[in-house]
Structure 1
């Protein structure tokens, strides 16, 4: 394996972390975005009550607020890490995230909470961006593939258990303790990172931060048909998924009355999505990204339309077993799509700087936020708004895929 670890250049420090320690550090850093989103879900009612939120659906906005910050932040921190170095950017973003945690912890109303969530999102985009850069800097070949595979597998699995973690913390110490726990985790990660992780980007290899470069990458993405099409598709599919995240607590606890078992049902569906992503990594070389994407897109649209018809006939709510069965298959399709859409979008761009990758990721996430928030705010005591959102967004995605593939 040592032949796959990059040799340090003159003037750089030798890595102080071994392979296992490096994995643990990267996993901790990259799990923070998922924990920041999904630990909130079980405590929506408590937060709404304590912050005196008048409209029940409005509390859902704490999810898209963080995602908006995450999308805008990665557009800045990606190029900034190429300019300032990995350690400086992660340190800066960590302090921004911790400031957001404090703002949320001390919030007494929904506007302050939403502002804190945006700040959290901007801050958490740093670790998400820097971790991938650090892996590329330090490893190559099989060692890089192994590291990336392990880190991303954990990134997929963490959301399944995050609501259970949030629920446990809230039961012991209240919902504000979730933000204190996130702050503590970031502080631990920052101290660990500062003491054990050397800088991997030499000053002579750094690129001056340039708004012109970001604008140029944005123009390149928007003028490349396949890239733009699949970026929009990724945003629409992600928007449907965000609609589920925003509505999940109300659907499971209010519609189906599962109570504290919410975290269990949420975990089952999350694992379905995660299993699809892992399976995709194994079969994509045999079947190809486009073939898998087309099949998953057809499956997602067909299942969504069928289920809309079923629940309309049932008055807007199906039995819980049917909801779980349909959504396990729907999320399996979504997992396949998540594994391929960004990769197809990036393929025509060749060996461009990482800025283009940041633009694709940021743009797709920004596209996802409005429909995801709208689906959640349309919740009316049934699952019809959620499934209508899936059906409409998958239809648009399918149409855009046909457009993107047309020469």
Structure 2
């Protein structure tokens, strides 16, 4: 399918459907990145505190080794983030982008504050699940706004710029969490999350116009929603890349959930965990930026297919080396950082390829993609991360398996043809 022309922002900065000027490109990039960062911030700032929170809610006793169940503090949030996007999508296609966004931001801040008083593990997981539900609304609207304004390679380039800014969050968030723990108890981390939600609420309230015109809105009923999702399933490209995203992002979430355990227990880097995690995330940010510079010339398929192949091969090399030797931080880190960086060359391109055929139902398409890349991938990630046994071998074998499965899905989607310049 040839790339469609983008719905460009006019030189005046005013969209025909908007009642107020659209922010300039730079501000819009940062704003969309901020909305998408609600999710990453809600995950990554927690990582240094997982062991302390596990103690506070009675999961483990001080001085004990970590319990793999502490990963559920992350996975409960991710599960809440994924499935509700199927609802947020049709709602935003019916009522526009602004209203659902404001509901999501208010809910995100309230549930963050509610987590402070939770001292029962299950109660905390429930509240984290609800926080993820509201975070999903912010992410859904952010992607839908971009699709309202851009298409094809222009969308991929814009999203790569967004992801470059967005990736500052996982680089800095664990460090912010570590700093908070130095001066305050773990509860203060949730205060920071609530403040972030309030800042985004104020900013978007005054600066983000409605980007979905009245005549483009879809009726909100079961038949319309099922019809929209039927279009997604029938679109070979959309459904194929949605499935591939859901599988491969299981690798990303499995590492995030187990990263604190890996660096603290395997490599003995408790105090410097935030720095090592920032290094890994930094490679992802660099890859996103690189993608934004080359995607229009090289093509989404050629870049993402190459990255997937490199990811699978490098993961296999690291798994074999570690299995036959031992875990060594200075061997693990550079190879793993390269593997992780491949997500920057896959994520935005897979998303743009999946969304491109379905511009008229961008909210619903974004919801389906978000469901695949969060709910499906988190369920896969839970199975992989739970295999953590004090070494990195199970995680890396999981990476290899998911890479192979994703490659097979794309081969089927593209009818056996990889590395196309389209």
245 and 292 in structure 1: CA distance in 2 versus 1, 3 angstrom threshold: same
Q: Is 354-363 or 188-197 further displaced after alignment?
A: 188-197
Deviation at 1:267, TM superposition (A): 0.6
Deviation at 1:21, TM superposition (A): 5.9
2:96 pairs with 1:85: yes
52 and 224 in structure 1: CA distance in 2 versus 1, 3 angstrom threshold: same
360 and 197 in structure 1: CA distance in 2 versus 1, 3 angstrom threshold: closer
88 and 53 in structure 1: CA distance in 2 versus 1, 3 angstrom threshold: same
Find the counterpart in structure 1 of residue 113 from structure 2.
Answer: 102
State the distance in 2 between where 1:341 and 1:141 align. 11
The one of 353, 363, 372 equivalent to 1:344 is: 353
Residue deviations 1:190-249 (CA, integer Å, cap 9, x gap)? 234334545455555543323323322322333333333322211111001111001100
2:55 pairs with 1:44: no
State the distance in 1 between where 2:157 and 2:333 align. 33
Contact 2:160 2:292 in 1 (8 A): no
Deviation at 1:130, TM superposition (A): 2.3
The one of 226, 232, 246 equivalent to 1:235 is: 246
404 and 29 in structure 1: CA distance in 2 versus 1, 3 angstrom threshold: closer
State the distance in 2 between where 1:19 and 1:303 align. 36
Contact 2:38 2:135 in 1 (8 A): yes
- The within-5 A match list for 1:112-131 is 112-131=123-142
The one of 3, 6, 23 equivalent to 2:14 is: 6
Q: Is 195-204 or 291-300 further displaced after alignment?
A: 195-204
Find the counterpart in structure 2 of residue 75 from structure 1.
Answer: 86
Q: Could you say which structure has the higher helix fraction?
A: 1
Contact 2:144 2:366 in 1 (8 A): no
15 and 226 in structure 1: CA distance in 2 versus 1, 3 angstrom threshold: closer
Q: Is 24-33 or 70-79 further displaced after alignment?
A: 24-33
State the distance in 2 between where 1:287 and 1:23 align. 22
Residue deviations 1:108-149 (CA, integer Å, cap 9, x gap)? 122111111111111112222223444566799999999766
Find the counterpart in structure 2 of residue 312 from structure 1.
Answer: 323
Contact 1:4 1:139 in 2 (8 A): no
346 and 129 in structure 1: CA distance in 2 versus 1, 3 angstrom threshold: closer
State the distance in 2 between where 1:323 and 1:103 align. 38
Work out the number of aligned pairs and report it.
402
199 and 52 in structure 1: CA distance in 2 versus 1, 3 angstrom threshold: same
Find the counterpart in structure 2 of residue 257 from structure 1.
Answer: 268
State the distance in 2 between where 1:399 and 1:24 align. 35
State the distance in 2 between where 1:289 and 1:231 align. 15
311 and 142 in structure 1: CA distance in 2 versus 1, 3 angstrom threshold: closer
2:37 pairs with 1:31: yes
- TM-score relative to the length of structure 2: 0.86
- TM-score relative to the length of structure 1: 0.89
Deviation at 1:8, TM superposition (A): 5.0
Contact 2:72 2:125 in 1 (8 A): yes
Contact 2:180 2:188 in 1 (8 A): yes
Find the counterpart in structure 1 of residue 235 from structure 2.
Answer: 224
Find the counterpart in structure 1 of residue 361 from structure 2.
Answer: 353
Contact 1:4 1:140 in 2 (8 A): no
Deviation at 1:60, TM superposition (A): 0.6
Residue deviations 1:9-39 (CA, integer Å, cap 9, x gap)? 5xx6434967766665544433222111100
Deviation at 1:406, TM superposition (A): 2.3
- The within-5 A match list for 1:173-322 is 173-201=184-212, 203=214, 206-314=217-325, 317-322=326-331
Contact 1:100 1:118 in 2 (8 A): no
Contact 2:160 2:288 in 1 (8 A): no
Q: Is 50-59 or 380-389 further displaced after alignment?
A: 50-59
Q: Is 108-117 or 331-340 further displaced after alignment?
A: 331-340
186 and 364 in structure 1: CA distance in 2 versus 1, 3 angstrom threshold: closer
Contact 1:70 1:123 in 2 (8 A): yes
State the distance in 1 between where 2:150 and 2:373 align. 28
CA RMSD of aligned residues (A): 2.9
Structure 1 unmatched runs, 5+: none
Structure 2 unmatched runs, 5+: 1-8, 61-65, 417-422
